[in-house]
Structure 1
């Protein structure tokens, strides 16, 4: 069943070590010693006491860690260092984002639209020419004695019910909407970049955890292979260990695949330039003030874009209405052609009024269409504002719960570490546990560590989502908000 000299196959332990182990069992403390992974008994006991205190006092794990308003100080990179890393990557993505360049081209087009509207304030000069006329009628066809010439016409609007001025104002609001569209695209690109950096870091850490799990399974398989070489009756245990090793390899390969996907997504955004991606298990990212972020929702670039579009539509409706009213122009004209008597034509000036008295209701219909488009843009903006508000609230809740779960998984990992060490000692040295118990304990410990990493970095992504929902992610990265 059990031989004391078996411990020498994997651990440097003798009767003295076994005696210490048995004393520990009697006292309720299992020495957490395993090849390659020493652990502090004091630290384990301290963590256990903290977990017990949390249950007794009924406080959350996040509050226990001192993170009710801000995350506790961790050994990882500081928030300032993280923001610098993120900002460098975001600026690299800005320079190569087609969406941002498209928005910038739209803004330049809107600036030209303003110049086109402003040009209508100036006198409009038209040049033309005509050939020598040919007339026909009751007298038959004959040539007029007037000559061909060049025609010049200068027209200035004297009163147009504000049509030109409102056109300019409408174009300016469209330009503001285009400017906000650039900021919206930058916020979107920044969120994608930071999200993928966090995802890549998370998956790389999970790969490291998975690799250690694979190493442990390989260690057990190698140990059992040596045992089976002496004791053929334990070959079933070797089969169980090999099956768990294959599961560990599969989990590691899956994590590597997800890490590769995250890296591809990040490279698509920032290109092939080198980027520093933190690989520590914990970062110092503070939870933002939700009320302050909610107050910034109205300043979100997409909200400003929608409001500018609404104002532009309302002004455009006034332009349509003004164009249906009488227009008064001052006209100056001159032609170089001679009349039928061979005389030069003088300069002419006059006041001209034009009025589209009847258009079959098309003008009124066009006005209503513009107003309804403006109303649609207004409702869309309101819906977007509501979506952003609840995006911040949902992300805040997700950040807190994810970070709390990460703290719970951390404490659970400490406990599962003790369990797997105890099961291993009881199986290998005392023969009071089956190998299946040991393998289940190893798998549970691995799952707890992966759960801690996943929930912690999900919380970091939720924090970034809060800033993105408020439209202040770029400003936060740059340190201006």
Structure 2
């Protein structure tokens, strides 16, 4: 008789059914069939159960005999009251519980029966539902399993009393853990920098590079040349002189104000009496007015103009700092582009050498013409990179020509300068002395003083007046000198004076807020410049080490391609491009780091003092 080799799952199903039939306390066949047909297995976590060896294969005769006994038990009459038949829909496929579920129910009914099959991955078998099924009543009623997941309370109790070899019951998912709220008062920290082992430049390179004092002198000479040529600096100097004259204008109002008047002879015409006396002769008049009390209007105006003079001075200093930054940044950029041009020329020469070499090879071996095409393509790319570097250098030279004119600055050709980032705390402490911030504060104080002057203008004014007129009356008598006290008070102006005062106060408050914003902006610029300088200089050292390794790789690839034939020309060209790109990246990051050092000093308002080598206080 042939043996049927069934899967482990089918074997477990048959063994479980056999145990359920043979056990005295097990459920009836009808209940087993109901569970077999109506239970839907839910995917559950698998407990750790020791695996057992597989059972032997069952013959076809034994399996047929067991199925016949189970079919007879389905049609056997029972004395109990039958439930109404459950109308099933059209034949469809439903998942059948695995053998592990049947074994779990059998173990719950008879604890002495051990588990024969280890837990297997969850899977379902597809069977076709027959015609309406009559459910036979069992001596011990067991609630029916739900069709779409879950157990009844009785089933869960039975399952919970089983041993550790049973499948775990279905439980609802636990609630998601609550998110820990962030502390609002803690200031966010910066991302920690990774610890990198970067090899420093050789001592010979460091000694050959220009020193910091030498660079300061070069840049300071260029900045002084730019200051002498700059029309913007001269414009701010003229604004300082204008502000000083405004102060003198207001101070002059404290002195007696002398007015001289004159009348020409009057000619009479038309109807009426004619005046034939000497009173019709030309006359002169003198009026002298001296302010005695103005409730602080003049003094507040003088104070406002003096603060304007300070603001103009700070504007001049800020313009000088900005010009020094433009010149320094332009010189650093020009040095960078000149180095990139030299590297690009070497790259072009190398590609030209490869093209010439391959042209000779292709003349003898036409099968390698594709390599010549690749080399020509890289040669054109090298020329494009060179042209790009030359274009950027010319743009920088045009900017420097606008600032320096025909003056030539002797820039050092070294690839590395002895410049180090300054101390961040020192620069942040100097932000309070930045000319732009001081200018904003002076303008705010000037606006507040102007508001006080407008407030005083609405109060009474007391003047001492002395006057004299040389004119004569009808009888030829000349008037004498007159003196007295004059009081003037604009009692009602429709609220215009109060509105002007409030407008001046609001403008002053707005300027104060702008100064606070400028302080925060300057501090962030200093921090950003310091971070850029340190990170770019470190990245430049990394690219220098990478360039050294890329140089070895490109030489090895060339030897392996030319002498051994183990590399393709594409590998050689890629290695040459990587070497060129790494060198350019090193120079770019290094000189961008130097530019960030200058930018940090300029953001703190100390670039001119640093170039002049003035100690910071």
Length-normalised TM-score, structure 2? 0.66
Which residue in 1 is equivalent to 2:29?
A: none
Correspondent of 1:80 among 203, 213, 220: 213
Contact 1:103 1:178 in 2 (8 A): yes
- Residues 1:126 and 2:259 are matched in the alignment: yes
Distance in 2 (CA, whole Å) between partners of 1:283 and 1:215 is: 27
Which residue in 2 is equivalent to 1:393?
A: 527
Distance in 2 (CA, whole Å) between partners of 1:401 and 1:364 is: 56
The aligned runs of 1:287-436 (5 Å cut-off) are 287-436=421-570
- Residues 1:112 and 2:242 are matched in the alignment: no
Correspondent of 1:65 among 187, 192, 200: 200
The Cα shift of 1:95 comes to: 1.1
* Greater displacement, 110-119 / 227-236: 227-236
Correspondent of 2:310 among 176, 189, 204: 176
The Cα shift of 1:100 comes to: 1.0
- Residues 1:93 and 2:226 are matched in the alignment: yes
Residues matched between the structures, number = 418
The Cα shift of 1:312 comes to: 0.6
Return closer, same or farther for 1:61/1:355 CA change in 2, 3 Å cut-off. Answer: farther
The aligned runs of 1:129-148 (5 Å cut-off) are 129-131=262-264, 142-143=274-275, 145=277, 146-147=279-280, 148=282
The aligned runs of 1:432-471 (5 Å cut-off) are 432-471=566-605
Which residue in 2 is equivalent to 1:225?
A: 359
Distance in 2 (CA, whole Å) between partners of 1:402 and 1:326 is: 66
Distance in 1 (CA, whole Å) between partners of 2:552 and 2:494 is: 87
- Residues 1:240 and 2:374 are matched in the alignment: yes
Distance in 2 (CA, whole Å) between partners of 1:65 and 1:331 is: 83
Contact 2:206 2:416 in 1 (8 A): no
The Cα shift of 1:132 comes to: 5.2
Return closer, same or farther for 1:181/1:144 CA change in 2, 3 Å cut-off. Answer: farther
- SS of the counterpart of 1:95? helix
- SS of the counterpart of 1:358? coil
Distance in 1 (CA, whole Å) between partners of 2:441 and 2:534 is: 33
The runs of 5 or more residues in structure 1 that have no matched partner are: 1-57, 67-71
The Cα shift of 1:99 comes to: 1.4
Correspondent of 2:349 among 190, 204, 215: 215
* Greater displacement, 386-395 / 162-171: 162-171
Contact 2:460 2:490 in 1 (8 A): yes
The Cα shift of 1:165 comes to: 1.4
The Cα shift of 1:475 comes to: 0.7
Contact 1:134 1:143 in 2 (8 A): no
Contact 2:440 2:515 in 1 (8 A): yes
Length-normalised TM-score, structure 1? 0.84
Distance in 2 (CA, whole Å) between partners of 1:144 and 1:371 is: 60
Distance in 2 (CA, whole Å) between partners of 1:462 and 1:61 is: 23
Distance in 2 (CA, whole Å) between partners of 1:276 and 1:431 is: 48
Correspondent of 1:200 among 312, 334, 343: 334
Bigger helix share: 1
Alpha carbon RMSD of aligned pairs, Å?
Answer: 2.0
Correspondent of 1:475 among 609, 613, 616: 609
Query: Per-residue CA shift, 1:15-34, capped at 9, x if unaligned?
Result: xxxxxxxxxxxxxxxxxxxx
Distance in 1 (CA, whole Å) between partners of 2:197 and 2:517 is: 36
Which residue in 1 is equivalent to 2:153?
A: none
Correspondent of 1:157 among 291, 302, 307: 291
- SS of the counterpart of 1:143? coil
Return closer, same or farther for 1:91/1:183 CA change in 2, 3 Å cut-off. Answer: same
Query: Per-residue CA shift, 1:187-206, capped at 9, x if unaligned?
Result: 00000000000001001100
Distance in 1 (CA, whole Å) between partners of 2:273 and 2:609 is: 79
- SS of the counterpart of 1:286? coil
The runs of 5 or more residues in structure 2 that have no matched partner are: 1-193
The Cα shift of 1:277 comes to: 1.9
Contact 2:212 2:419 in 1 (8 A): yes
Higher relative contact order (CA 8 A, sep 6+): 1
Contact 1:133 1:144 in 2 (8 A): no
The Cα shift of 1:75 comes to: 2.6
The Cα shift of 1:168 comes to: 1.1
- SS of the counterpart of 2:289? strand
